[in-house]
Amino acid sequence: MPIITNVRVHDVRFPTSLDADGSDAMNKDGDYSAAYVVLETDSELSGYGFTFTIGRGNDLCAEAARQRALPLVGQDVDTLLDDLGATYRELASDTQLRWLGPEKGVVHLAMAAVMNALWDMAARRAGVPLWRLLVEMSPEQLVDAADLRYLSDALTRDEAIAMLRSAAPGRRQRLEELKARGGYPCYTTSAGWLGYSDDKLRTLLREAVTDGYRHFKLKVGADLDDDRRRLRIAREEIGWDAELMVDANQVWDVPQAIEWINALAEFRPLWIEEPTSPDDVLGHAAIRRAVAPIGVATGEHGMNRVLFKQMFQAEALDFCQLDSARLASVNEILSVYLMAHKFGVPVCPHAGGVGLCELVQHLSIFDYVAVSGSLDKRLTEYVDHLHEHFVDPVIVSNGHYALPSRPGYSAELRDETVQRYRFPDGQYWLERKAQDLLVTTR
Amino acid sequence: MPIITNVRVHDVRFPTSLDADGSDAMNKDGDYSAAYVVLETDSELSGYGFTFTIGRGNDLCAEAARQRALPLVGQDVDTLLDDLGATYRELASDTQLRWLGPEKGVVHLAMAAVMNALWDMAARRAGVPLWRLLVEMSPEQLVDAADLRYLSDALTRDEAIAMLRSAAPGRRQRLEELKARGGYPCYTTSAGWLGYSDDKLRTLLREAVTDGYRHFKLKVGADLDDDRRRLRIAREEIGWDAELMVDANQVWDVPQAIEWINALAEFRPLWIEEPTSPDDVLGHAAIRRAVAPIGVATGEHGMNRVLFKQMFQAEALDFCQLDSARLASVNEILSVYLMAHKFGVPVCPHAGGVGLCELVQHLSIFDYVAVSGSLDKRLTEYVDHLHEHFVDPVIVSNGHYALPSRPGYSAELRDETVQRYRFPDGQYWLERKAQDLLVTTR
């Protein structure tokens, strides 16, 4: 009977702002960061999880994760992992921390980090990758793990079980299909950051076409003339049969969004992503009605399952881009997948950042095999950054995520990475501080 | 030209959980707390502000407030205070911190604390209480200070100015009226906490009736039989002409809320407060349709102006209970008041906690004098706790908040209080820790 003996939490930050990687109309200078949780036991078993931020404030998430995880110390590992729904509800029941959201912002990001580590640990204990742990759970087990609180007006427990049961017979066949086609389909955002020059944009798009991609996403929203020039370049490079998506990262009010998107319609985008405040359910619904057939996508800042419930109820979304480190791990993500399936909205998870690709590959496989049973209009984001820091990095080729094979949720960072990029005392940041001092004192 | 020289932030916690003060169906053991910000200058001028939490995690808000406020240090006080809209937008433009919300949770609570301190400082600089600073601002100045981002589909800048202009002629007269009637009307929640015994409930209600109150709020939602018994006691004590409000603190799903509220209809509550998740705009709208004529109230966990915009658009609310320490200070609160006025929804601010009464009295006076011009269905919450810790505490008598007269936002804590209740190193918490150790080691 192993027990949890320790929680270690690290504030790990990468200096991505130096290269304008990840730059968009809202976020010009992100330093991709992870509030990284390691759950240790008195056996060889450990659990690794994180939430993703873009720099300052990552320490807040790390400290919140430490506070969230403290009640786990001293508890029996098997009891915790045999019923991850109960474990989740126990951690969520801290009403003093709940006040700080509720179920949103820093304390919810922290919940994601901690529960991600527990799901990782559960998969490691079973000796399988997380996606396999999930596809081998029964409908009842999955629904017991899901957080259905506040959702019963959109999805009842019985409906959820019935949907999963009806998808159960095809699980094995769909898994074989995925293997045969080389994994789960993805699209790339690597070329389209707003801070890249036209030349760099063109070169990267050309490379991506050569690499077999058929879907490409560009950042828009800072300047309409720039957007039109960049989208023209994109269509020149990818042609008109490939799919082009655009992403405004929340810069517009609702009326402005409608006007701007319609001004880009000639480039035939598949979707407009984050056209306005991520909290604005009714705004997204209004935009969707006004820009059709261009689809509306959002979700990377979708704070919790209650927001997604309303997005589905209001018919506000064509694509659901849930985030694996913002929603409170598999427990809450399961609920969103189940609702999306009921409402007929494809889930195309947000990824990129640091480690999000590593997580979402598991979720997408699970969705296809055990929930939606469909690849129609489904593709998962892929960004070619920072994978070298993971022990079990994604393998992407020919526009597909290969099925991960190692036990766990692929969330473990390499020890050298944590040592080097830990903020503010990792070697990289110490060197950078010394350099900055040098520049300042010259 | 004074400059901001220092930011001091204190994690101040009061042991309210010991007496079940503040207990409800969701929050059984809150320790009312303030993440308390003091902005110092090189003159005698200072600014005091806070956000409110219920215990654990207050340290996260304090640290977030410190990070939020750091850019102010070294800046010219007059420049900051002459255009608090620009100052707000400058602080809000930290996109790395924004990622952690956006505009919600810990980083938004921290924004409230810091901007509250700046508004306090602005009123002190002018030598007037905050409500007077606000009622003496022109329509254009108010709208320049307001955060209207993401709202233009519900309220444009021109509409906002027009509404304020049309209310301007009556300002002086309404102010005299308020003074003549003894201040702004309030209701009391002090009697109705869920953890109180029936006897204590009855005694406190009787006292409140004697004190001149005509509106009383009880916590409900843990057990239907208990609720019915307690509401019967309440009606026995207050009669049927007084108004009774009930508050479920988010415990129900939407269908359950409708069923439970209708089961309490015979006690004729004026409103049901927080029937479900505070994020659920469409859920509140559905509940409202199903429980009329009982009104629906929410807002103490209303995370930002975008949520309130949708509550108004969806006709989800009969009473808007905005929170002075959860919304990002006067800048965001102005927008909510303006929208509420346009949509015809009375604002009855949430108060209680620690210091919220001290803040909201200013807002309510401003609303009556300069925005809504109406007291119909408007009353501000009052809870009789922790006022002794403030330098300029509220004065409530005969069910009215007296108009505060001292310069500022009434947010300054007494020095002795900060010393004694600072967590974990204040004298109270050091003594408590020693006692707990004693008990543990016996």
Q: What is the CATH number for A53? A: 3.30.390.10
* B149 vs A: CB within 8 A: yes
- Residue B441 predicted with pLDDT over 70: no
B281 chain-A contacts, CB cut-off 8 A: 281-282, 310
Q: pLDDT tens for residues A207-229?
A: 999 988 889 999 999 999 999 99
Same domain, B296 and B383: yes
| Confidence grade of residue A441 (pLDDT, cut at 50, 70, 90) | low
- Tokens describing residue B218: 């009880």
| Coil, strand or helix at B186 | strand
Nearest to A254 among B26, B95, B153 (CB): B153
User: Would B420 be classed as within a structural domain?
Assistant: no
Q: pLDDT tens for residues A144-187?
A: 999 999 999 999 999 999 999 999 999 999 999 999 999 999 98
Q: Supply the pLDDT for residue A439.
A: 73
| Confidence grade of residue A437 (pLDDT, cut at 50, 70, 90) | confident
Report the gap between the CA of B410 and the closest CA in chain A (Å): 23
- Using the beta-carbon criterion (under 8 Å), do B56 and A255 form an inter-chain contact? no
Where b means 16+ CB within 10 Å and e means fewer, B99-126 reads bbbbbbbbbbbbbbbbbbbbbbbbbbbe
Please name the residue ranges forming H helices in B148-293.
Answer: 157-167, 171-181, 198-210, 224-238, 254-263, 281-291
What is the average pLDDT score of chain A?
95
Rounded to an integer, the average pLDDT of B61-67 is 98
| Confidence grade of residue B192 (pLDDT, cut at 50, 70, 90) | confident
Residue A258 has phi, psi (to 5 degrees) of -60, -45
Same domain, B100 and B172: no
Residues A142, A164: contact at Cβ < 8 Å? yes
A293 burial (CB, 10 Å; 0-12 / 13-18 / 19+) is exposed
Q: Which domain holds residue A68?
A: 4-127
- Tokens describing residue A415: 């020890």
Nearest to A104 among B64, B104, B281 (CB): B104
For the domain that residue A175 is a member of, what is the CATH number? 3.20.20.120
- Using the beta-carbon criterion (under 8 Å), do A280 and B309 form an inter-chain contact? yes
Same domain, B205 and B338: yes
Contacts of A177-183 with C-beta under 8 Å, sequence gap 24+, read: A178/A365, A178/A368, A178/A369, A178/A403, A179/A403, A181/A400, A182/A397, A182/A398, A182/A400, A182/A402, A183/A361, A183/A396, A183/A400, A183/A401, A183/A402, A183/A403
Same domain, B58 and B169: no
What is the average pLDDT score of chain B?
95
Same domain, B391 and B276: yes
- Using the beta-carbon criterion (under 8 Å), do A63 and B61 form an inter-chain contact? no
User: Would A425 be classed as within a structural domain?
Assistant: no
Residues A164, A367: contact at Cβ < 8 Å? no
A283 chain-B contacts, CB cut-off 8 A: 150, 153, 306, 310
Same domain, A325 and A239: yes
Q: Supply the pLDDT for residue B94.
A: 95
B354 chain-A contacts, CB cut-off 8 A: none
* B60 vs A: CB within 8 A: yes
Same domain, B174 and B222: yes
B201 burial (CB, 10 Å; 0-12 / 13-18 / 19+) is buried
- Using the beta-carbon criterion (under 8 Å), do A54 and B99 form an inter-chain contact? yes
Residues A206, A34: contact at Cβ < 8 Å? no
Report the gap between the CA of A390 and the closest CA in chain B (Å): 23
Which A positions 276-315 lie with beta carbon below 8 A of chain B?
A: 276-283, 286, 301, 303-304, 306-307, 309-310, 313-314
Q: pLDDT tens for residues A75-129?
A: 999 999 999 999 999 999 999 999 999 999 999 999 999 999 999 999 999 999 9
B309 chain-A contacts, CB cut-off 8 A: 280
- Using the beta-carbon criterion (under 8 Å), do B279 and A31 form an inter-chain contact? no
Last residue of a domain, which of B127, B151, B173? Answer: B127
- Please give the ipTM for the structure prediction: 0.96
d(CA B35, CA A369): 47
Q: Supply the pLDDT for residue A18.
A: 84
* DSSP E strand boundaries for B339-399: 380-382, 396-397
Handedness of CA B123, B128, B129, B134 (dihedral sign): negative
| Confidence grade of residue A436 (pLDDT, cut at 50, 70, 90) | confident
| Confidence grade of residue A370 (pLDDT, cut at 50, 70, 90) | very high
- Using the beta-carbon criterion (under 8 Å), do B100 and A106 form an inter-chain contact? yes
Same domain, B251 and B386: yes
**CA-based angle B24:B27:B29, to the nearest 5?**
105
d(CA A378, CA A187): 10
Rounded to an integer, the average pLDDT of B364-378 is 97
Same domain, A206 and A316: yes
Same domain, B100 and B197: no
- Residue A23 predicted with pLDDT over 80: no
- Using the beta-carbon criterion (under 8 Å), do A95 and B30 form an inter-chain contact? yes
Task: Provide the residue type at A412 as one letter.
Answer: E
Same domain, A114 and A241: no
d(CA B195, CA B201): 10
Which A positions 247-266 lie with beta carbon below 8 A of chain B?
A: 250, 253-256
| Confidence grade of residue B272 (pLDDT, cut at 50, 70, 90) | very high
User: Would B152 be classed as within a structural domain?
Assistant: no
The number of folded domains in chain A is 2
- Using the beta-carbon criterion (under 8 Å), do A283 and B254 form an inter-chain contact? no
Q: pLDDT tens for residues B212-250?
A: 888 999 999 999 999 999 999 999 999 999 999 999 999
Nearest to B100 among A30, A109, A253 (CB): A109
Report the gap between the CA of B232 and the closest CA in chain A (Å): 29
- Using the beta-carbon criterion (under 8 Å), do B96 and A57 form an inter-chain contact? yes
Kindly report the number of other CB atoms within 10 A of residue A344's CB atom. Answer: 10
Rounded to an integer, the average pLDDT of B286-312 is 98
Which B positions 87-146 lie with beta carbon below 8 A of chain A?
A: 94-109
Report the gap between the CA of B77 and the closest CA in chain A (Å): 25
- Residue A442 predicted with pLDDT over 70: no
Contacts of A371-374 with C-beta under 8 Å, sequence gap 24+, read: A371/A163, A371/A164, A371/A167, A371/A337, A371/A338, A371/A341, A372/A167, A372/A337, A372/A340, A372/A341, A372/A346, A372/A347, A373/A167, A373/A170, A373/A174, A374/A346
d(CA A281, CA A99): 23
- Residue A136 predicted with pLDDT over 90: yes
Nearest to B99 among A53, A101, A153 (CB): A53
**CA-based angle A308:A310:A314, to the nearest 5?**
120
d(CA A154, CA B253): 10
Same domain, B199 and B90: no
Q: Which of B13, B18, B82 lies closest to B50 in space, CA to CA?
A: B13
Residues of A taking part in catalysis:
219, 350
- Residue B362 predicted with pLDDT over 70: yes
The structure's pTM equals 0.97
Q: Supply the pLDDT for residue B442.
A: 56
User: Would A73 be classed as within a structural domain?
Assistant: yes
* A221 vs B: CB within 8 A: no
User: Would A268 be classed as within a structural domain?
Assistant: yes
User: Would A157 be classed as within a structural domain?
Assistant: no
- Using the beta-carbon criterion (under 8 Å), do B153 and A253 form an inter-chain contact? yes
User: Would B360 be classed as within a structural domain?
Assistant: yes
Residue A187 has phi, psi (to 5 degrees) of -125, 165
User: Would B225 be classed as within a structural domain?
Assistant: yes
Residues 6 or more apart whose Cβ sits within 8 Å of residue A102:
B250, B277, B278, B301
